[in-house]
Amino acid sequence: MQHNLSLKPYNTFGIDVPAAWFTELTNVSELPGLTALPQEKFILGGGSNILLTQPVSGLVIHNELKGFAIEKEDNDHVWLRVASGEMWHDIVLYAINKGWGGIENLALIPGTVGASPMQNIGAYGAEVKDVIETVSFWYWKERTILTYNNRECAFGYRDSIFKSELKGKGFITSVVYKLSKYPTYNISYGAIQQELEAMGVEEPSVKAIAYAVMSIRRSKLPDPAEIGNAGSFFKNPTIPLAQFQHLHDQYPKLPSYPVSDTLIKIPAGWLIEQCGWKGYRKGDMGVHAKQALVLVNYANAKGNEIWQLSGQIVDSVKQRFGIELEREVQVW
């Protein structure tokens, strides 16, 4: 247990605030002891989806639960149970090397396995909910582990029961992913197809697709090791068809993706860019020059400065387009 530890190395935004108390969790058997402590608990994985706006007054539990094993297997699938402190991308690499499909489009997303169901991580036309079989969850209050099946996780777009109803109530200890031995490939999204061609790939494979996704991501997204950020700061908003048609009359170039017959998804990055924020910088904080959805800390920005900037962006998008942006990043 450490006291007054700076969390700067533990969050990809690189925000420097202290945690009153800090500990590493390396074994599930330590959970009952931690549960008994009086401090409010904050669970920290890779710190790649949080914005620290103030000192953390309780106990930060850094997830170091490691290990994975095949739970069962049949001719078509393998069920892989993974401890929640494993790094997500390491599991993607493991799966693609085995030729198991289902998570190749989600390569290079930072963070831990435990956070993957939290916000139902997604990228390049895939979401982790499509391969999650169960999630095991330690309850602080009841002091027991319960297992949630896929339906009970209530997954939505960057959403789940762990981010809503169960927020703050416990700790995801492990996740079981159902991976496919004979995967169908999803290469229609973004530039995957072009990237595969540029790589000279004629027959796609899970490995080739993951490598294509990694290459595209490296060219588009800032590396937190170089510039502090937490990936997409906002969710892409979904609006009713009638509102979309009205906006489209005013902005014929408005990009859109149908979600259903009545709902349309709009890229938040486009809206933010239209409001003139792309490349904005004030002191050490700003909006990335290549990707307007990513807010950045160039050196020593404060978390609450970035929070205020995000508020200004929300206001200007609301004023111009009548759309309320929702933050994807968790604010502590």
Ligand X SMILES: Cc1cc2nc3c(=O)[nH]c(=O)nc-3n(C[C@H](O)[C@H](O)[C@H](O)COP(=O)(O)OP(=O)(O)OC[C@H]3O[C@@H](n4cnc5c(N)ncnc54)[C@H](O)[C@@H]3O)c2cc1C
Contact call for residue 215 and ligand X (CB under 6 A): no
Residues 83 and 68: beta-carbon distance below 8 Å: yes
DSSP SS3 for 22: strand
| Shortest reach from residue 86's CB to ligand X, in Å | 10
Considering the rule CB under 6 A, would residue 121 count as an interface residue with ligand X? yes
Site membership for ligand X, residue 114 (CB under 6 A): yes
Q: Give yes or no for residue 109 binding ligand X (CB under 6 A).
A: yes
Q: Which residues of 274-312 are buried (b: 16+ CB within 10 A; e: fewer)?
A: bbebbebeeebbbbbeebbbbbbbeeebbbebbbebbee
Return the number of the residue (188 or 250) whose C-beta is nearest ligand X: 188
CB of 200 to ligand X, least distance (A): 26
**Residues touching ligand X: how many (CB under 6 A)?**
31
Pairing of strands 238-240, 263-265: antiparallel
Q: Assess 172 for contact with ligand X (CB under 6 A).
A: yes
Nearer to ligand X, 63 or 236 (CB): 63
So which residues are the catalytic ones? Answer: 158, 232, 328
If we measure between CA atoms, which residue out of 193, 176, 194, 168 comes closest to residue 58?
168
Select 65 or 266, whichever has its Cβ closest to ligand X: 65
Determine if 161 is a binding residue for ligand X (CB under 6 A): no
Whether 254 contacts 285, CB under 8 Å? no
CB of 273 to ligand X, least distance (A): 18
Q: How far is the CB of 48 from ligand X (least distance, A)?
A: 3
* CB contact set of 269 (below 8 Å; sequence gap of 6+): 232, 291, 292, 293
**Contact residue for ligand X among 14, 15, 21, 46 (CB under 6 A):** 46
Contact footprint for ligand X (CB under 6 A): 12, 43-50, 63, 84, 109-112, 114-116, 118-119, 121-123, 171-172, 221, 224, 229-231, 330
